[in-house]
Structure formats: C-alpha cells, structure tokens
Amino acid sequence: MKKIRIGTRQSPLALWQANKIASILGAKGHETEIVAITSEGDDNLKQPIYSLGLTGVFTRSLDIALLNDKVDIAVHSLKDVPTVLPETLQLVAYPERASSADILVYKSEDIFEKEHRVIATGSLRRKAFWNHKYPTDTIVDLRGNVQLRLKKLQDNDEWDGAIFAFAGLDRSEILEELNSKGLHYKVIDWMLAAPSQGILGVVAKEGFDLSDINNPECELFATVERQFLNVLEGGCTAPIGALVEKIDDENYSFKGAILSIDGKEMITIERQFKANEYPTKGKEFAEECIAQGAAKMIEEIKKEIGSK
C-alpha cells in the first residue's frame, strides 16, 4: 500500500490536525508521512486576512503542492477552505467535528462591567457580531497562530480580550494553561460560528478515495453550511455565520446570519430540515436571506473591502 503524504501548514495547530488524520489513517492500515508547507496567510501577519485576497489565503500553498504531486492529501480547518476549489481538487473526507463555538479569552473579570472594551480579532465575522452586540467597543486586528495571538493579548496592556475558536485552543491543548497565564475564557453563546468551524477537512485530487475515514454526519454539516456560504459569498470575504445541529436521527436545525462589516445590519434565518433533504438546503436557506436583502449587503461589503 502506497504511503500517503499529508500536506499541512506549519503552525502547531495545523500540525496537530495533520497528525490527527495520520492517526485515523494509521488505524485503517495506511502508512503516512507529514509534509509541512508554509502558507501565504501564515507568512503575512501585518495585513488583515480579508485584504490578502478574496479567499483561500491559508490553503493556496497546499493546493499548489497537491497539483504538483508534492503531497497526496491536505488537511485543513474546513472553515479556511474556499467553497470553490481549484479544478481537479475536491474534499474527500470530513473525519470529525469538535466544538463549533467561539470563545472570549480575557484578562480580568471586570471586562463585563466596562462600558468600553478593546477586543482583538482578525475575523470580519467575529468583528461584525461583536460590534452588533457592543457597538461602542473598539476592535483591533489580531493575526498569527494560536500561541502568538495569546502572547499578543498578554503583552498588550490596552487590550481587554481576544476571540478564538474553542476547537483551536482545545486541540492545541492550551485551554487548561490559560489560568497559569493570567487569562480566563468564556463561550460566546450568542456569536454564530463560521461555516464548518470545528470540522477537519481533507482535500485531494479527484478520484483519491478516503471514504474509509469519512464521517457522514460531518459531511452533512459541512455541505449545508458551506453551500449557504457559497451562495451568499460570491467570492467575497464576508461576515457570515452558519451552523447545523442534530435534533435526532432524522431532523436537524440550521441557523444562518450575514452582517454588515460594522455589525449594524444583520439578516438571520433559523430552520429545521430532514436528514435526507440536506444536499440542497444550504442553497435554499441562502436564497431566503437574499430575498431579505442579503445581495445588497454583499455588494456593500465588496465596496468597503475594495476601498481598504
């Protein structure tokens, strides 16, 4: 059996994810090798993510490695993977989903009593949701891997907190270390997750079969959430949240939202659907948002991003 070369970014979290897939593949009898590759998004920590290009700043280098046969598969946090992949590449497995939640990591409990806070995040979605709820707060840009972002939070006396994905800190085994760093965390239960947040996605050339490590329910979650994103986004980086949750074996719930960059406007949708209906539901839910005015909002977002 041929050894599977696993392409990954070089951050500690990305390497954890690649090794997780290597472990899953190993349990199925596959021999693997980890190949670490630098991404444009990791190299450039000065510009906001949305200014680096439309989509895929964390996946382009791995896409090129796949197309040039330098690696056989690429492992990603699925929320970083564009909804339209380069020709001949496809998502071949959705092995697992961890928590989809965002968390606030903060320095002092008095953060919740303050009238004005300074919150750090590099995500347009998190910025928009936070501004929607706390319009007088200041949002500052924060880039880098998990460890670097935490250090920046600790080192900046003016910052009150920063927003992270729960799964990222959990997979990096950092959650239990926060107290020793003088930090605390709280799940932001009113902030809707990025589509596919918490899901691991495996990309390969068309025809590469990894069905033996695929989780069909994760595929359902990812398909609906990414389809919703794809129809609304139109190639534009936008503040969009989407989350599918299981009700029972036959029924699922969906929550979706799109916001203006300043968070002042928000269109939301909540629906339920049957398991066998999932292949088209993301598109249907997005079209409902478009009927509520989402297309106009996307155009305004494109103009605002283009002017920065």
Q: Which domains does the chain have, with CATH numbers?
A: 1-96+199-214 (3.40.190.10), 102-187 (3.40.190.10), 215-308 (3.30.160.40)
Q: What is the pLDDT along the chain (308 residues), one digit of tens a residue?
A: 689 999 999 889 999 999 999 999 999 999 999 999 986 544 444 544 444 344 556 688 999 999 999 999 999 999 989 999 999 999 999 999 999 999 999 999 999 999 999 999 999 999 999 999 999 999 999 988 899 999 999 999 999 999 999 999 999 889 989 999 999 999 999 999 999 999 999 999 999 999 999 999 999 999 999 999 999 986 567 899 999 999 999 999 999 999 999 999 999 999 999 999 999 999 999 999 999 999 999 999 988 887 55
Alpha-carbon distances, residue 206 vs 21, 86, 89, 101, 102 (angstroms): 19, 11, 5, 31, 33
How many Cα atoms sit within 13 Å of 188 on the Cβ side?
A: 23
Q: Which residues pair with 255 in a beta bridge?
A: 243, 270
Question: Residues 41, 46, 49, CA angle at the centre, nearest 5°?
Answer: 45
**Residue 177 to residue 180: CA distance in whole angstroms:** 5
pLDDT of residue 50: 42
Q: Which residues are catalytic?
A: 80
- Cα dist from 13 to 111, 147, 284, whole Å: 28, 9, 34
Residue 2's pLDDT is 85
- What is the pLDDT at residue 207? 94
Whole-structure pTM value:
0.90
Of 258, 301, 259, 255, nearest in space to 282 by CA: 255
What pLDDT is attached to residue 41?
A: 46
Tell me the β-bridge partners of 74: 7, 203
The span from the CA of 251 to the CA of 275, in Å, is: 6
Say what the pLDDT of residue 1 is.
66
Give helix then strand counts, H and E, for the chain.
9, 13
